[in-house]
């Protein structure tokens, strides 16, 4: 009989209880014992929900104190040498030190989890001596069984994916590292088998990327070793986010089940099963419910797909499940009572997806007639949104089409001519200093916004407060000695939400939070209709800031691709079409800033890289329309108007050409969190435009020394043109405290002065 399963559940809690507990502990307001108690209750509550929904295979060990990749590293004793560690279970201060940094040691690198907006902590192998410190999956299994009577399905990051996500070893050492890790994996599985575990989920999402023949051989050898050691244990080899290219090799692996994504990888995975078939001795985990999207499933279509799969795989060997972990969606729609009715009825967050999975598995077991009323209601709930006016605006479609076909979106002059004109206008010093845009949002700032949103402050009171913040920080930036200033973004909650609230076609939840990294949660807007510009969004605050100083103040916008990738996007139009709607709307804001006298405008695109498809064959098309959307946003300004952009926390070496094609006058890119490794991208790729490589990590509370920054500058200038080099932090400073921000920026300005003295004679 068909069973139901989930690959993982959101960690944060319906009211972000998880986040609040972590941050209270970090602030010294919560003892470690109380932290453990609170997180245990959150974890058990998540299991109870899935149990109540009737999920057959409930995941355990998907919960974490920060990040599941970091959990895997510390489970194997892989702790960077710069952190204190004497063996055994890794203490919480060390665990959080790796993730967040300490006063004396930089945090480990953080980067994107495949093509999602979740960030993981990159394991540093180097000279580590791996050893099993504690069997976390076993602890999670025991807890679920003892506390709730749940026969859990332990979730473990698989060995090949763990290695591929790690750093600090040469490609030639892959086999050696696999040999060192495999005995630890075997021991974990042996202890699980001895405990009576029936199914274990080994996540290998790296299988949806391009792997070499050598990697596939390593994968086969690793799974032969593991499954031979635990013949009584059922292993579900789980993939997600795309289809697998090496289908024949994967289905030949000695495992009892294989999980495939039939949402984002539907076309490729279906084609493989139809043409090659599926092994008679394996269970198919059919990921038919979207673990990354928020829309109700077309359950009739999903059931038809499952019926086709049942024709290829018998019911007793079919598991209905989510396409990936539900980590990437909010918890529940239950309290979203303020959304338009037609939109709310079309949404499905994690809890609603549990119901969809249970319903589909019931339909397979008992027949579609047993759930006919539920299927009918589900179909009816989608119709109002499909036919709504907000989704069918011919004025928007026609205006965007006209803008796209009128002229190729590009600046009127090449960069070299623009650069000369801009330098004549601004007369900036060598190595101009600036920040990425936001300054600390203190408790006072957050309280003021809350008072305004509740109606306890009127618009005039709130505007006065925001101006006071701008006054203080413009003055402070001048005192610190920054060359190009920003207004600080005190009026903005989130770099995407702020713009979505001012554009048409967006909706916003009250409780739709998802985890981005660590305790950082975001509430992505919902692009549910055609996007249109309404009125100027950033002009008032930017012009006011510029009135306070003779130094240039940058206008600050979020770019079209980042808004796209950091929102939940309608699924009835292609992402390319939505990107062009966003670009056309944002172009009108860029033009409004320029008309108001703002001559530097930053259009941030930190999320361009994360939207890159996992299949290399699709890269060119995506990058082409992403670049086109950015240029559509920025192409109409004068030559003397300087366009900036910003990117962070991604690998860029394979898209340097596309970054240059965006034709921004200045780009700032994160590099300090990756310990300067981004600079390697420019050793083999000449970059001809203005660039700033972040000289310090803003996601860590530590204040970096001037020497650390000058070292980063020196390394960058080995491969970049000093005349085009800017000095800035890695990212915005919204989450940092005032004192650490000011001190760090003072150090940065001092580093810039030292660099000017050192390199002046060479320019």
Q: Annotated catalytic sites, by residue?
A: 699
Q: Are 646 and 668 in contact (CB under 8 A)?
A: yes
Q: Are 64 and 71 in contact (CB under 8 A)?
A: yes
Is 29 labelled as part of a ligand binding site? no
- Cα–Cα distance between 258 and 272 in angstroms, integer? 13
Is 19 labelled as part of a ligand binding site? yes
Q: Enumerate residues 6+ apart whose C-beta is below 8 A from 754.
A: 706, 710
What is the DSSP-derived secondary structure letter of residue 705?
-
Which residue bears the tokens 């179909």?
379
Is 489 labelled as part of a ligand binding site? yes
Is 134 labelled as part of a ligand binding site? no
Tokens at 680, concatenated: 């390697």
Is 610 labelled as part of a ligand binding site? yes
Judged by DSSP in three states, 648 sits in coil
Nearest to 534 by CA among 573, 586, 604, 601: 586
Is 426 labelled as part of a ligand binding site? no
What is the DSSP annotation of 139-182?
HHHHHHHHHH----EEEEE-HHHHHHH-BSS-GGGHHHHHHHHH
Q: Are 736 and 700 in contact (CB under 8 A)?
A: no
What is the DSSP-derived secondary structure letter of residue 670?
-
Is 113 labelled as part of a ligand binding site? no
Nearest to 587 by CA among 632, 556, 557: 632
Q: Enumerate residues 6+ apart whose C-beta is below 8 A from 341.
A: 384
Is 731 labelled as part of a ligand binding site? yes
Bridge partner list, 666: 644, 690
What is the DSSP annotation of 245-297?
S-HHHHHTSS-SEEEEESSTTHHHHHHHHHHH---TTSEEEEEEE-SS--BPP
What is the DSSP-derived secondary structure letter of residue 698?
T
What is the DSSP-derived secondary structure letter of residue 347?
B
- Cα–Cα distance between 256 and 258 in angstroms, integer? 7
Is 18 labelled as part of a ligand binding site? yes
Q: Enumerate residues 6+ apart whose C-beta is below 8 A from 27.
A: none
- Cα–Cα distance between 379 and 69 in angstroms, integer? 38
Q: Are strands 514-517 and 526-533 parallel, antiparallel or unpaired?
A: unpaired
Is 566 labelled as part of a ligand binding site? yes
Q: Enumerate residues 6+ apart whose C-beta is below 8 A from 267.
A: 243
Nearest to 215 by CA among 257, 159, 261: 159
Separation in Å, CA 729 to CA 191, 459, 694, 713: 46, 33, 5, 12
Phi and psi based region of residue 697 (left: phi greater than 0; alpha: psi -120 to 50; beta: remaining): beta
What is the DSSP-derived secondary structure letter of residue 428?
P
What is the DSSP-derived secondary structure letter of residue 669?
E
Is 101 labelled as part of a ligand binding site? no
Q: Are 547 and 524 in contact (CB under 8 A)?
A: no
Judged by DSSP in three states, 604 sits in strand
CA atoms within 13 A on the CB side of 281: 8
Is 32 labelled as part of a ligand binding site? no
Q: Are 426 and 642 in contact (CB under 8 A)?
A: yes
Is 16 labelled as part of a ligand binding site? yes
Q: Which positions make up the binding site for Zn(2+)?
A: 646, 648, 670, 731
**Which parts are annotated binding residues?**
16-19, 112, 117, 436-438, 489, 520-521, 566, 604, 610, 646, 648, 670, 731
Binding residues for L-methionine: 436-438, 489, 604
């Amino acid at each position: 009989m068909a069973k139901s399963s989930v690959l993982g559940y959101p960690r944060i809690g319906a009211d972000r209880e998880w986040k609040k507990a972590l941050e209270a502990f970090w602030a010294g307001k919560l003892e470690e014992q109380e932290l453990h108690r609170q997180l245990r209750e959150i974890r058990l509550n998540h299991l109870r929900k899935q149990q109540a929904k009737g999920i057959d295979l409930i995941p355990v060990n998907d919960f974490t104190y920060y990040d599941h990749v970091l959990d895997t590293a510390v489970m194997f004793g892989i702790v960077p040498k710069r952190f204190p560690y004497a063996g055994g279970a890794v203490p919480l201060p060390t665990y959080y030190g790796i993730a967040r940094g300490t006063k004396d040691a930089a945090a480990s690198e953080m980067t994107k989890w495949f093509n999602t907006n979740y960030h993981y902590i990159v394991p540093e192998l180097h000279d580590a001596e791996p050893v099993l410190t504690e069997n976390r999956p076993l602890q999670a299994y025991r807890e679920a069984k003892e506390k709730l009577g749940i026969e859990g399905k332990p979730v473990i990051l698989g060995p090949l994916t763990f290695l591929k996500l790690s750093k600090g070893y040469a490609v030639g050492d892959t086999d050696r590292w696999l040999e060192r890790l495999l005995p630890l994996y075997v021991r974990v599985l042996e202890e699980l088998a001895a405990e009576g575990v029936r199914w274990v989920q080994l996540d290998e999402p790296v299988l949806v990327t391009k792997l070499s023949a050598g990697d596939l051989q390593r994968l086969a050898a690793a799974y032969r070793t593991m499954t031979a050691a635990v013949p009584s244990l059922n292993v579900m080899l789980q993939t997600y986010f795309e289809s697998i290219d090496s289908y024949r090799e994967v289905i030949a692996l000695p495992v009892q089940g294989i999980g495939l994504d039939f949402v984002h990888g539907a076309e490729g995975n279906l084609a493989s099963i139809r043409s090659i078939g599926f092994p008679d001795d394996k269970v198919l985990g059919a990921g038919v419910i979207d673990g990354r999207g928020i829309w109700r499933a077309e359950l009739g279509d999903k059931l038809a797909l499952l019926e086709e799969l049942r024709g290829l795989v018998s019911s007793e060997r079919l598991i209905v499940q989510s396409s990936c972990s539900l980590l990437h969606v909010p918890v529940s729609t239950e309290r979203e009572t303020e959304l338009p009715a037609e939109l709310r009825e079309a949404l499905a967050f994690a809890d609603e997806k549990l119901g969809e999975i249970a319903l589909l598995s019931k339909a397979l077991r008992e027949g579609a007639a047993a759930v006919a009323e539920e299927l009918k209601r589900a179909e009816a709930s989608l119709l109002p949104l499909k036919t709504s006016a907000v989704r069918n605006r011919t004025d928007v479609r026609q205006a965007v089409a006209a803008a796209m076909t009128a002229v190729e979106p590009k600046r009127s002059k090449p960069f070299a001519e623009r650069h000369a004109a801009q330098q004549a206008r601004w007369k900036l010093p060598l190595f101009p200093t600036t920040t990425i845009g936001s300054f600390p949002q203190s408790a006072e700032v957050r309280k003021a916004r809350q008072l305004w949103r509740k109606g306890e402050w009127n618009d005039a009171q709130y505007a006065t407060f925001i101006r006071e913040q701008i006054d203080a920080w413009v003055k402070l930036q001048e005192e610190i000695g920054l060359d190009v200033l920003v207004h600080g973004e005190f009026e903005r909650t989130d770099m995407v939400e702020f713009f979505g609230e001012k554009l048409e076609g967006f909706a916003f939840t009250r409780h739709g939070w998802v985890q981005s990294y660590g305790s950082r949660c975001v509430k992505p807007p919902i692009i549910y209709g055609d996007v249109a510009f309404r009125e100027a969004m950033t002009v008032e605050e930017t012009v006011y800031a510029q009135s306070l100083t003779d130094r240039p103040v940058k206008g600050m916008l979020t770019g079209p691709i980042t808004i796209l990738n950091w929102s939940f996007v309608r699924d009835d139009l292609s992402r390319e079409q939505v990107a062009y709607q966003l670009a056309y709307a944002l172009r009108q804001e860029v033009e409004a800033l320029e008309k108001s006298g703002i001559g530097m405008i930053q259009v941030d695109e930190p999320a361009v890289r994360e939207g890159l498809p996992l299949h290399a064959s699709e890269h060119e098309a995506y990058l082409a329309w992403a670049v086109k959307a950015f240029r559509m946003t920025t192409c109409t300004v004068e030559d003397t108007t300087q366009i900036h952009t910003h990117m962070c926390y991604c690998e860029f070496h394979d898209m340097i050409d596309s970054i240059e094609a965006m034709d921004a006058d200045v780009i700032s890119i994160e590099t300090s969190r990756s310990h300067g490794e981004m600079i390697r991208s420019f050793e083999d790729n000449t970059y001809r435009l203005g660039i700033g490589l972040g000289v310090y990590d803003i996601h860590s509370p530590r204040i970096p020394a001037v020497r650390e920054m000058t070292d980063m500058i020196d390394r960058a200038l080995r491969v970049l043109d000093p005349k085009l080099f800017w000095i800035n932090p890695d990212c915005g400073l919204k989450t940092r405290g005032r004192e650490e921000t000011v001190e760090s920026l003072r150090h940065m300005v001092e580093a810039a002065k030292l660099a000017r003295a050192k390199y002046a004679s060479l320019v």
